[in-house]
Structure 1
């Protein structure tokens, strides 16, 4: 009697250089108990130095390896057709001077962006006008209005990005995190199509 195995490829996987990729690493597997352990330990790919930092494993390659091991199995694939394997090398520690330089550049860039925006919309003139309308007085430096506005601007940025350093304020993702997530999805889709040799066939291929 033919048995059925269900596999679901993981979207992204991190692995060390020169490490073998097993089926349990790259996919979730549902199978009978008598073959489950053997399936999970099935080697699919050996990472080499030529692979650099990205390897794409196609579901057809996974099904081929499973059916070669168990010819009487019916394999049902659920989910994505490719799994992206990221080869992670040992991370180098970031030097403090480099961190300080990047932080300084970002700080100055953000400050210039805020100041240029305020200049474009004539924020100072608007604040002076609002202060005059509320108090009936003319003041060239209404600090009682400008200081709370500056504090509110900083608090608003914290609420917008939903982070205070590494601490998250709530479980809702920030707009920046959503944009980064969408960018990562587009990047993964590009890599899956570009790096997957089995998804392309050229005229010179035989």
Structure 2
């Protein structure tokens, strides 16, 4: 009987500390009839003993566990050769007062940053000059220019980040999301190259 097993490891998974991971959870697999128990085979356990945040599970560890159960199986690996597990712990919900304080800090900080930028670039003098060019009169507080500019500034930030609160405006990723994606890719590459752990330490013996 043909015993070819196809495995496509997932690139990254987030698991709770102390949780066990089954093969069917961390990889897409195709198995012949009679080998369906491989879906339930535990490939990572004892994660409650993990002190660091990441574990890198190499496909060779997975192959060894399958071979220990089905020595004559033929294993074909497709895609990534390792899976990065990010270990997380349950966090308590932040108090409402802390949320308000953080929100006020970000609001005041961003407001000061915008005001300092406007002061350095002489934005008020520029608005006065625009008003003079449009009307031929000098005005120290040209609200007819400043109010639309302020509204446009806020609208521009919404369009730039492509979000209005939790609602996405369109499917195009924002520059911030692109930067976060690139950062995540660099972080994953670093973890794979520098934090290759002895994954068998957290594996069950079958």
Q: TM-score, normalised by structure 2?
A: 0.88
For structure 1, which segment, 63-72 or 43-52, has the greater mean C-alpha deviation from structure 2 after superposition?
43-52
1:111 — aligned with what?
A: 111
Question: What residue number does 2:90 align with?
Answer: 90
2:39 paired residue number:
40
Alignment of 1:89-168 (within 5 A): 89-168=89-168
Cα distance in 1, alignment partners of residues 119 and 76 from structure 2: 61
Structure 1 segment 69-88 matched on structure 2, within 5 A: 69-88=69-88
RMSD: 1.8
Change (3 A) 1:89 1:198: closer
Aligned residues: 198
- Residues 21-47 of structure 1 show CA distances to partners (whole Å, capped at 9, x for unaligned) of 110111110122321x21111111213
- CA shift at 1:18, angstroms? 2.4
**Partner residue in 2 for 1:49:** 48
Q: Which residue of 1 aligns with 2:29?
A: 29
1:21–1:47 CA contact under 8 A, matched in 2: no
Q: Which stretches in structure 2 are left out of the alignment for 5+ residues?
A: 200-206
Structure 1 residues 41-94: Cα deviation after superposition (integer angstroms, max 9, x where no partner):
111121333213322211111111112211122212122222111223222101
Task: Tell which deviates more after alignment, 11-20 or 135-144.
Answer: 11-20
Sort the Cα spacing of 1:185 and 1:158 in 2 relative to 1 into closer, same or farther, 3 A. Answer: same
Q: Where in structure 1 do 4 or more consecutive aligned residues deviate above 6 Å?
A: none
Alpha-carbon distance in 2 for matches of 1:82, 1:67? 18
Change in Cα spacing, 1:62 to 1:87, as seen in structure 2 (3 Å) is same
Question: In 1, distance between residues paired with 2:188 and 2:13?
Answer: 12
Report if the CA contact (8 A) 1:5-1:73 is conserved: yes
2-side partners of 1:142 and 1:168: how far apart? 34
